[in-house]
């Protein structure tokens, strides 16, 4: 007991000393520096560029086969555990799905709990979360740990004590506004979006003051220019000014007010351009016939000024969505040669099955190619207009209400969902966890009631033709727009990838395996079965001279719905379905953190 107490004191002292030392530095430069320290893992995707790459190289393609479990930690929460922990110095910060607990764990003592935070939230928020009560993680800034709770309360906790410093409400769950995203801190601000595209919310990104939680600006996905923070002349779409009220004039009547475009994904930041990048989700409802027009700016990549929120450029990937291909997946910022020219690039693997490479300074579209050959809803993206060329047979709008459009690839969960990819500068490749699932989609008329589901379509999902695998883990060349290698996975890969300077790539599987593969060839080098299916993201850190790999397991999320039950019924009569056993034969629920390292 005495030893334990002393340790707490020691940690508190170290932490305060660190903070004191950082006192004269702004929060901005603090984080810019911290994200470069490979020993720590200070933001959900490792760094502002969201590369999920680490310079640590103790664990290599040669020795990863010897990896052993160092310690484990049960979160005590069932349901889907997305995201992953942060690590700073001697402390690891772990979050959970609803009820959104946060634990600070002592890395000097096998993860002993330093403090724990558990908010009181109204359980009525649970059923207005469309796809499980997931939460994708924490942000750090200026001595605070920041979390966006399910009920949209954004809370800042003292990193040393877990005491609440401030909290602010970002949305209204009684209107279907909820939160699942991990916030991002830039300079003196915290950024957070909103979930609820299936409830007719109007998506927005909001900046709050890191100091006291006061709202600084809010940019909506649709609405008048004063709401969207789009400048009719200065904001561009593929080089052309967007024009006045572009967030209204592609909508029928007032439909933009319940237009969706939720902002529940990941946020990236380029300090040189001072731009925040993120994507917006599906327009509401899923019945495209009910909402004619391009439905701008749903399904859009936004580049907003971090200080003012004004958008420099936007790009709508899927105008007038007819398939629920949310555009919220992560934006990976890399400097790479594209078509022979050095570019400040943004690479994005969209739900719609296209891998986009853009110039992140200007918003110019450079590459748009399918990252799964099964993708069939569009033949290609017209590089001049940026519009996908929709195949009539798979157009749920052209086929109309009450008609079942069949064989559409990908399914609504996309060729890739939120599970973030990784980029290794050593190989120049992107490592992408994917789904390989197709669907039937039948839209029909629905009515809007605040706080009630506003869906308007029924879907069936099944494996893409020609195989039994529901997922692939691929390596992608963003210059050529080509798959370099592809590993089949029996289930969708719903876990964020990690690549390292040891030329190893890590990811988790729905059966619960943590896998390590060779960054160059994709050859499997190691696997370990964790207690539950993995939908969390892998990270790495260094502590006392040793490199560790950490991952949350805990089946759930959308993957836990569609995959655990429906696709695996042998009586379903869906072609190769007999080959599937239910996921529940492999794994059960339960949140556990597993930490790996090499033996001494």
Partner 1 sequence: MLHFRFSKPILLATLALTYSITCYATPSKADYKSFQPSPDQPYYFEDGKVDFGTYNGFRRYHADCHVCHGPAGLGSSYAPALLDSLKVMTWGDFVNVVISGREGRDNMIMPSFAKNVDIVTNLSDIYAYLKARADGVIGATRPAKFPKVKKLIADN
Considering CB under 8 A, how many residues would be counted as binding partner 1?
48
Beta strand extents in 20-162 (DSSP E only):
53-54, 68-74, 82-83, 86-88, 91-95, 102-106, 112-117, 139-141, 144-148, 153-158
Query: Per-residue x/- marks for partner 1, 175-214, CB under 8 A?
Result: -----------------------x----------------
Say whether residue 555 binds partner 1 (CB under 8 A): yes
Question: Would you give the distance in Å from CA 45 to the centre of its chain?
Answer: 9
Say whether residue 281 binds partner 1 (CB under 8 A): no
Evaluate whether 149 touches 169 at the Cβ level (below 8 Å).
no
The b/e string for 520-538 (b: 16+ C-beta within 10 A; e otherwise) is bebeebbebebbbbbbbbb
User: Of 321-360, which residues contact partner 1 (CB under 8 A)?
Assistant: none
User: Of 64-123, which residues contact partner 1 (CB under 8 A)?
Assistant: 78-80, 98-99, 123
Interacting residue with partner 1 among 172, 307, 364, 440 (CB under 8 A): 440
Interacting residue with partner 1 among 289, 556, 580, 591 (CB under 8 A): 556
Nearer CB in complex with partner 1: 132/225: 132
Interacting residue with partner 1 among 271, 453, 522, 578 (CB under 8 A): 453
Q: In angstroms, give the least distance from the CB of 460 to partner 1.
A: 6
Nearer CB in complex with partner 1: 127/373: 127
Is 90 noted as a catalytic residue in this protein? no
461, β-bridge pairs: 439
User: Of 557-576, which residues contact partner 1 (CB under 8 A)?
Assistant: 560-562, 564-567, 569, 571-574
Interacting residue with partner 1 among 381, 459, 516, 552 (CB under 8 A): 459
Q: In angstroms, give the least distance from the CB of 595 to partner 1.
A: 24
Stretch that binds partner 1, among 14-22, 153-161, 270-278, 444-452 (CB under 8 A): 444-452
Residue 453: DSSP 8-state: -
Q: Are strands 498-500 and 53-54 parallel, antiparallel or unpaired?
A: parallel
Say whether residue 132 binds partner 1 (CB under 8 A): yes
Evaluate whether 339 touches 332 at the Cβ level (below 8 Å).
no
Q: In angstroms, give the least distance from the CB of 196 to partner 1.
A: 12
Interacting residue with partner 1 among 456, 496, 508, 531 (CB under 8 A): 456
Q: Which of 90, 106, 324, 372 is catalytic?
A: 324
Interacting residue with partner 1 among 102, 104, 333, 461 (CB under 8 A): 461
Say whether residue 216 binds partner 1 (CB under 8 A): no
The tally of CA atoms less than 13 A away on the side-chain side of residue 5 is: 2
Distance CA 164, CA 152 (A): 16
Which among 41, 69, 65 is positioned nearest to 53, based on CA atoms? 41
The b/e string for 446-470 (b: 16+ C-beta within 10 A; e otherwise) is beeeebebbbbbebbbbbbeeeebb
Distance CA 44, CA 50 (A): 8
Distance CA 326, CA 261 (A): 8
Q: How many CB atoms lie within 10 A of CB 20?
A: 9
Which secondary structure element, helix H or strand E, spans residue 594, and what is its range? Answer: strand 592-597
Nearer CB in complex with partner 1: 567/593: 567
Q: In angstroms, give the least distance from the CB of 563 to partner 1.
A: 10
Which among 201, 139, 149 is positioned nearest to 179, based on CA atoms? 149
**CA-to-CA dists, residue 140 to 271, 545, 580, angstroms:** 17, 23, 42
Interacting residue with partner 1 among 126, 216, 403, 484 (CB under 8 A): 126
Interacting residue with partner 1 among 177, 225, 330, 442 (CB under 8 A): 442
Nearer CB in complex with partner 1: 501/563: 563
Q: In angstroms, give the least distance from the CB of 162 to partner 1.
A: 22
User: Of 223-262, which residues contact partner 1 (CB under 8 A)?
Assistant: none
Q: In angstroms, give the least distance from the CB of 462 to partner 1.
A: 9
Stretch that binds partner 1, among 12-20, 110-118, 366-374, 451-459 (CB under 8 A): 451-459
Distance CA 298, CA 293 (A): 11
Nearer CB in complex with partner 1: 131/551: 131
User: Where does residue 212 fall: left (phi above 0), alpha (psi -120 to 50 degrees), or beta otherwise?
Assistant: alpha
The catalytic residues are 324
Q: Which residues bind partner 1 (CB under 8 A)?
A: 78-80, 98-99, 123-124, 126-128, 130-133, 198, 286, 404, 440, 442, 444, 446-447, 449, 451-453, 455-461, 555-556, 560-562, 564-567, 569, 571-574, 589
């Amino acid at each position: 007991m005495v030893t334990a107490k002393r340790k707490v004191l020691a940690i508190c002292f170290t932490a305060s000393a660190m903070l004191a030392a950082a006192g004269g530095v702004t929060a901005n430069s603090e984080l810019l520096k911290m994200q470069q320290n490979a020993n720590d893992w200070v933001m959900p995707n490792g760094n502002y560029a969201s590369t999920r790459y680490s310079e640590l190289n103790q664990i290599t393609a040669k020795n990863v086969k010897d990896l052993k479990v160092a310690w484990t930690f049960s979160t005590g929460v069932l349901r889907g555990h997305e995201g992953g922990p942060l690590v700073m110095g001697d402390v690891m910060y772990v979050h959970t799905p609803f009820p959104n607990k946060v634990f600070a764990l002592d890395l000097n003592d096998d993860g002993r709990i330093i403090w724990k935070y558990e908010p009181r939230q109204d359980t009525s928020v649970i059923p207005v979360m469309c796809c499980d009560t997931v939460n994708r993680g924490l942000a750090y800034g200026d001595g605070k740990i920041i979390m966006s709770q399910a009920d949209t309360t954004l809370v800042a906790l003292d990193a040393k004590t877990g005491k609440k410093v401030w909290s602010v409400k970002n949305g209204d769950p009684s209107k279907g506004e909820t939160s699942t995203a991990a916030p991002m801190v830039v300079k003196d601000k915290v950024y957070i979006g909103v979930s609820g595209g299936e409830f007719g919310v109007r998506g927005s990104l909001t900046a709050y003051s890191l100091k006291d939680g006061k709202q600084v600006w809010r940019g909506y996905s649709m609405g008048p220019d004063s709401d969207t923070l789009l400048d009719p002349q200065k904001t561009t779409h593929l080089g052309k000014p967007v024009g006045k009220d572009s967030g209204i004039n592609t909508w029928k009547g007032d439909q933009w007010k319940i237009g969706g475009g939720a902002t529940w994904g990941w946020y990236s930041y380029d300090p040189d351009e001072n731009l925040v990048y993120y994507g917006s989700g599906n327009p509401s409802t899923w019945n495209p016939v009910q909402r004619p027009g391009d439905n701008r700016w749903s399904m859009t990549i936004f580049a907003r000024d971090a200080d003012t929120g004004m958008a420099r450029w936007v790009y709508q990937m899927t105008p007038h969505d007819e398939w629920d291909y949310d555009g919220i997946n992560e934006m990976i910022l890399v400097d790479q040669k594209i078509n022979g020219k050095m570019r400040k690039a943004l690479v994005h693997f969209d739900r719609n099955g296209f891998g986009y490479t853009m110039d992140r300074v200007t918003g110019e579209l450079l590459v748009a190619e399918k990252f799964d050959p099964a993708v069939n809803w569009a033949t290609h993206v017209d590089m001049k207009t940026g519009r996908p060329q929709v195949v009539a047979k798979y157009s749920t709008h052209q086929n109309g209400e009450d008609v079942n459009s069949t064989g559409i690839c990908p399914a609504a969960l996309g060729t890739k969902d939120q599970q973030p990819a990784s980029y290794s500068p050593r190989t120049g490749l992107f490592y992408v966890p994917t789904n390989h699932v197709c669907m039937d989609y039948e839209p029909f008329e629905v009515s809007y009631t605040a706080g009630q589901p506003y869906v308007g379509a029924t879907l069936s999902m099944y494996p893409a033709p020609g195989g039994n695998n529901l997922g692939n883990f691929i390596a992608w060349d963003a210059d050529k727009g080509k798959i370099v290698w592809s590993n089949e996975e029996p289930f969708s890969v719903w876990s964020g990838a990690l690549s390292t300077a040891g030329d190893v790539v890590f990811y988790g599987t729905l059966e619960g395996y943590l896998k390590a593969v060779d960054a160059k060839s994709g050859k499997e080098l190691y696997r370990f079965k964790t207690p539950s299916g993995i939908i969390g993201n892998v990270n790495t850190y260094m502590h006392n001279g040793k490199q560790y790999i950490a991952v949350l397991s805990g089946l759930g999320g959308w993957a836990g719905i569609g995959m655990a039950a429906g696709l695996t019924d042998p009586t379903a009569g869906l072609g190769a379905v007999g080959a599937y056993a239910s996921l529940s034969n492999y794994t059960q629920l339960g949140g556990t953190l597993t930490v790996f390292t090499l033996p001494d």
